[in-house]
Structure 1
C-alpha cells in the first residue's frame, strides 16, 4: 500500500479492515483499531530480504546492519511468541566465493535459529547466487525447498521459484534474477497438496505471483490458477521487490513484505507478525516500515 503525508506532516498508512480501505495517522496505533480479544489459531512471524553480508553498504542496502535489525525483531518475537517464523528469501547476499557465502549464512542463521517457534526458509535468488540449493538447505537444516505444513487448523505452503525457464535450478551464478519459474512438477505437487489440505491455506514465496514484470514469476498466471481453483488459499506472502505492496486477485490477497536490509538504523527496520483466526481473518501487525493489514473472509 502507499505511504501518504497529510497537512500536519504526519505520515498516514493505508490498510484494509473488513474489506474497507482505511487511512490512519501513525500517531494513532493501527493495532488499537485491530484490537481483538479472540486468541488467534496460529501466530507467524515474518521477515524478508535480510541480505546479510559482511560488506559495506551499497545504495540503500545496509548489509551488516541486518544483525542489529534482527536483534531488535527478536525482542518483539520473544514477546509475541509466534508458533512459526518464516523468512521469505534473500536471507544472505551474494559473495564471490562459496566459503565466504557459507560464512554469511552461518553468521546470520545463528541469530535467526535462536528465535522462538519453528523456522522456515523460503529460497530467494541471492540465497543461491554462489551456493547450490543443497548447500543453503544444509546450512540452515531444512530438508526441502518446497513443502507444506499444518498449524492451528490451517495449511501453509512454502514454494520455490528459483528455477530457470529451462527447469534448471539456480546455483553457482548460473541464472538471471529476472528469470524465476516454478517448474511443472512443483506446480503439479502444489495442486495435489491443496486438494488434500484439511483447512484454508496461506502460501509463502520469494518472487512475486501477482505481477508480470521483472519481479514476477514467469509462469505466475499458471500458479495463480492452481491457487484459485483449489478454493483454499486466503493469502500469499512475498518478498523480492523490497517495498510494501498489496494486490487482490480473484479473492486472494498477495502481500509483499518490506525488506529488512533497506535503510540504516533500526528505525528503518521492517518485519511483522501474522495472526490467523478461526474464521479465516488474517491480521498483519507491521513494525517500523512494515504496513499493517487485516482481511476478513
Structure 2
C-alpha cells in the first residue's frame, strides 16, 4: 500500500495503477461502497469521472481509437452500476471532429445515449473537440445542459464546472474558429467564479477540461489568475481536469490538481481509463482508478 505523504493543509496518497480484471477495480471497495463514509458518520458521495472519449465513427488515427470509446464507456457503465454514483462528470472532448454539423451531432447523440444510461444526473465540461464543428449551444442542447459554466451543491459539497473554450480575445470556440492552444477563462467567467466561491463555505471541487496547473500548450493561458481566485477562496480542495490524455498530479498552494487519463488512447479494454470518486462524511476523498487511471486519496490534516 502506498504511503501517506503530508502536503500542507491536507495529506495526499498516490499509488501506482492497479492491476484490474475487466469491469472491476478494487473489489473489496466495490462490495462495500458505504464503509469509508461510515467512519465519518454520514453517507459517502460517489462520483463517476470520465474524460477525453473523442467518440467518432471513423478509423483510428495515431494512438486514438475513436470507435472503441463506445465499448470502453460500456465497461465504465458496468462498474458504475455496482457503486451507484450520485452523478457522473464528463471532463471534456466527449466527441471528435466531423466534417459537418449533422455528422458531429450524430456522434454526440450516440455517445451521450450510453453516458445517459449510467445515471440521471450528469455534468459535462466543454472540451475543444466538443465545439470543433458544433457551437456551444448546439452541444449543450443535445446533452440537455442550460449553460457551460455553473456550480451546484450536493451533500454538503460545492462543485464548480468551468469553461475555458474561449479565445484570448474573448470569443467563444465554435465552428473551427480557434487554435486549441489558445484556451482562456474570460474576465466575465473569472468574476463569476470569484463571486460564486465567496458565496459558499462548503468544501469545493472544480471540474475543468484544459489544465489549470501548467503553462504549456495544454494549459489555460490565464491559469495563474484562475488559481489565484481558487487559492483566495480558502475552501477549494481539488481540481479535476483532462485534455493532455495522461495521468498527472500537482499540489499547488494546497490544492490538488488531478489530470485524468483519456479513454480514447489505445486499442483494447486494457487501454481503457476511468474512475469513481468517493467523498466520505469525514472529509476524506478517494479516487478509485480503473485500468490505466491512477488512484488517489487525500484526507483532512489533523487539527
1:37 positional shift: 2.5
In structure 2, what is the Cα distance between the partners aligned to 1:289 and 1:25? Answer: 6
C-alpha displacement of 1:280:
2.4
| Structure 2 unmatched ranges of 5 or more | 38-42
Mark the CA change 1:268 to 1:186 in structure 2 (over 3 Å): closer, same or farther. same
Aligned counterpart, 2:217: 214
2:50 corresponds to which of 47, 52, 68: 47
1:99 aligns with 2:99: no
Q: Does 1:129 align with 2:132?
A: yes
Contact kept, 8 Å, 1:207 with 1:239, in 2: the verdict is yes
Aligned to 1:5: none
Contact kept, 8 Å, 1:17 with 1:294, in 2: the verdict is no
Q: Which residue matches 1:72? A: 75
Q: Go from structure 1 to structure 2 and tell me whether the alpha carbon gap of 1:59 and 1:193 turns closer, same or farther (over 3 Å shift).
A: same
Q: Which residue of 1 aligns with 2:40?
A: none
- 1:187 aligned partner: 190
Compute the displacement of 1:279 (Å): 3.1
Judged with a 3 Å threshold, the aligned counterparts in structure 2 of structure 1 residues 202 and 25 are, in CA distance, closer, same or farther, namely: closer
Mapped to 2, the partners of 1:115 and 1:96 lie a distance apart of: 29
What number of residue pairs does the alignment pair up?
285
Between 1:17-26 and 1:203-212, the stretch displaced more is 17-26
Q: CA deviation at 1:273?
A: 0.4
Alignment of 1:8-27 (within 5 A): 19=11, 26=18
TM-fit CA distance, 1:198? 3.8
Aligned to 1:38, the other structure's residue is in SS state helix
Mapping 1:157-196, distance limit 5 Å: 157-196=160-199
Match of 2:245 in 1: 242
Q: Encode CA deviations 1:73-113: one digit per residue, 9 max, x unaligned.
A: 11001111000100000000011111110010011111111
In structure 1, runs of 5+ residues without a counterpart are 1-12
CA distance in 2 between counterparts of 1:179 and 1:60 reads 24
Deviation at 1:186, TM superposition (A): 0.4
Return the alpha-carbon distance in structure 2 between the equivalents of residues 197 and 81 of structure 1.
27
| Contact residue 17 and residue 292 of structure 2 kept, 8 A | no
**Alignment RMSD (CA, Å):** 2.2
Structure 1 counterpart of 2:85, from 49, 58, 82:
82
Q: CA deviation at 1:116?
A: 1.8
Partner of 2:279: 276
Instruction: Tell me the distance in 1 between the aligned counterparts of 2:236 and 2:127.
Output: 22
Greater shift, 32-41 or 161-170, is seen at: 32-41
SS of 1:138's equivalent in the other structure is helix
Instruction: After superposition, give the CA deviation of every residue in 1:230-275 in whole Å (9 maximum; x if it has no partner).
Output: 0010000000000000000000000000000011111111000011
| Residue 230 (structure 2) aligns with | 227
Q: Name the TM-score, length of structure 2 as normaliser.
A: 0.89
Q: Which of these residues, 109, 120, 124, is aligned with residue 112 of structure 2? A: 109
- Residue 38 of structure 1 and its aligned partner are, at CA, apart by 3.0
State the TM-score, normalized to the length of structure 1. 0.90
Shift in Å, 1:26: 4.3
